[in-house]
Amino acid sequence: MWDNVNRTIDSLYDEMVENRRYLHQHPELSFQEKNTSAFIAKKYDEWGIPYQKNIGGYGIVATLKGGKPGKTVALRADFDALPIQEENDVPYKSTVPGVMHACGHDGHTAALLGLAKAMLPYQEELPGKVVFLHQPAEEYAPGGAKPMIENGALDGVDAVFGTHLWINAPVGVLQTSKGAFMAGADRFEITIQGKGGHGAIPHETKDAILIGSQLVTMLQQIVSRRIDPLKTAVVSVGTFEAGQAFNIIADTAKITGTVRVFEPELQDLIIQEMEKIIQSVCLPHEAEYDFHYAKGYPPLINHPGEADIILTDCKQVEGIVKTEEIEPVMAGEDFAYYLMERPGAFYFTGAQKEGHVYPHHHPKFDFDERALPLAAKTLLHAYRTYQERNRHN
């Protein structure tokens, strides 16, 4: 039966590509994915697979109940896009100005839909239940995972698996970790209020650009001088907005950035150090400030047993040439919330496009579509192996 499902997945390759390209041409931003959600729902209507819609926003939860006893395993794909103007010259280029699938979520959705359709003919032979989680709003905190969970998406679920198409790994390679895999992702905003004035009379001003520049430099000392070198943390400034003209000293400056950590204790330390640095820089200049720190997605911590399924058992999947345990990456993922509620694992499916060197979130991002059936097959294998390992539990 499993071989038949895999062959069916292969036979649906063209359909998965078609679905992915349609979604790529019609991207929608986080919390705005009304048409994408309707597209997914229409597929389940066509196939006769029951589902619930508007779960935690535009989320969809479809369920396929097998004919044999077993566990309930959830498989997740996200479907939001990014505020990026696409620069690729391809037939399936985004038709929405300033919005692009620049991270692979269109592929995640196409792969999960393909898997659902492939499993349907063998429903009576399947053990337990498989739950297809189609999640909105992964890219922008507070994200879509948490509200989906709060709306019951994991009710009755025993384990959860998810994958991310990853252009940093070749097609046929799977990567994950048996513990910490992706970082907690926070954001901060600092507004400095100084006193503007003529560029020729700086002594009568409180230069917000000067203050902000000192602040940016000193923030880098948190990781280099306040964090144990054997621990991992990132403090990055992403934007610095100030000034209106070449001969006017700016009265305000706005700085935003991100913090990435794996340990709550480090998160607390960084917040404290940031507050002290901001105070110490602004005070001598008699400038006021506003500091807002938003805790984002928690660290993504895989469960060892479920991660082992990816690293050990998924080697058997046709087309997978290598599985490897890698060091954690500093990107964030709200799949972390699912793993705080249920056993499971998140992993990367290699999707590197030969000769295409542009990273995730780049205007020229693209991936090798041959990774689509591999994502579907490995999710299927995770479901299958979890059922087999927990048959008597």
Q: What is the pLDDT of residues 286-319, one digit of tens each?
A: 999 999 999 999 999 999 999 999 999 999 999 9
Q: Which whole number is the average pLDDT over 6-10? A: 98
- 361 is an annotated ligand-binding site residue: yes
Q: Where is the domain boundary, 297, 324, 349?
A: 297
SS3 for 101? coil
Question: Same domain for 201 and 244?
Answer: yes
Residues 6+ apart with CB under 8 A from 92: 21, 22, 24, 25
Based on the fold, state whether residues 31 and 145 are members of the same structural domain.
Answer: yes
pLDDT at 312: 97
Could you report the per-residue pLDDT of 197-227, keeping only the tens digit for each? 999 999 999 999 999 999 999 999 999 999 9
The answer to whether residue 28 is catalytic is no
> Cα separations (Å) of 361 from 83, 100, 132?
9, 9, 25
Residue 209 backbone phi and psi in degrees, to 5? -70, -45
Q: Are residues 109 and 141 in the same domain?
A: yes
What is residue 392's predicted lDDT score, i.e. its pLDDT? 77
Q: Specify the CATH number for the domain of residue 71.
A: 3.40.630.10
At residue 119, the pLDDT reads 98
Q: Do 126 and 67 belong to one domain? A: yes
Residue range of the domain that includes 52: 2-181+299-389
Residue with tokens 């619930």: 52
Identify the band that residue 114 occupies on the pLDDT scale cut at 50, 70 and 90.
Answer: very high
Say whether both 216 and 288 belong to one domain.
Answer: yes
User: What confidence score (pLDDT) does residue 377 get?
Assistant: 98
Q: How far apart are CA 273 and CA 226, in angstroms?
A: 8
Mean pLDDT of 76-102: 98
What's the pLDDT at 380? 98
Annotated binding-site residue? 164 = yes
Residues 6+ away with beta carbon under 8 Å from 317 = 6, 374, 377, 378, 381
CA distances from 376 to 11, 27, 35, 369, 383 (A): 12, 21, 23, 12, 11
Task: Look at residue 388 in the predicted model and tell me its pLDDT.
Answer: 97
Selecting among 80, 86, 333, 366, the annotated active-site residue is 80
* Same domain? 167 vs 188: no
Together in a domain, 157 and 232 = no
Tokens matching residue 67: 């004919």
Q: 245 and 365: one domain?
A: no
pLDDT of residue 260 exceeding 90: yes
Q: How large is the average pLDDT for residues 349-372?
A: 97
Name the pLDDT band for 320 (thresholds 50, 70, 90). very high
Joined together, the tokens standing for residue 53 give 């819609």
- Cβ–Cβ under 8 Å, residues 51 and 60: yes
- Nearest Cα residue to 168 out of 387, 329, 389, 345: 329
Cα 276 to Cα 189, 203, 261: the distances in Å are 15, 26, 19
Task: Based on the fold, state whether residues 110 and 130 are members of the same structural domain.
Answer: yes
Predicted confidence band of residue 264 (pLDDT cuts 50, 70, 90): confident
CA distance 361 to 359: 6
Q: What is the widest separation between alpha-carbon atoms in the chain?
A: 81
Annotated catalytic, 341?
no
- 393: confidence class by pLDDT, cuts 50, 70, 90: confident
18 carries a ligand binding annotation: no
- In the predicted model, is pLDDT for residue 122 greater than 80? yes
Asked if the model's pLDDT at residue 139 lies above 80, the reply is yes
360 is in an annotated binding site: no
Domain end position, chosen among 267, 297, 327 = 297
Rg (CA), the chain: 23
For residue 62, what pLDDT is reported?
Answer: 98
Domain final residue pick, 266, 282, 297: 297
How far is the C-alpha of 237 from the C-alpha of 388, rounded, in Å?
Answer: 47
pLDDT at residue 22 in the model: 98
Q: Are residues 171 and 318 part of one domain?
A: yes
**Same domain for 144 and 23:** yes
Count of domains in the chain?
A: 2
Mean pLDDT of the chain: 97
CATH of the domain at 195: 3.30.70.360
Beta bridge partners of 173: 322
Catalytic residue among 138, 333, 366, 369: 138
Domain shared by 362 and 322, yes or no? yes
Confidence label for 47 from pLDDT (cuts 50, 70 and 90): very high
Q: Is the pLDDT of residue 251 over 80?
A: yes
* Beta strands at 68-78 and 159-166: parallel, antiparallel or unpaired: parallel
* 356 assigned ligand-binding residue: no
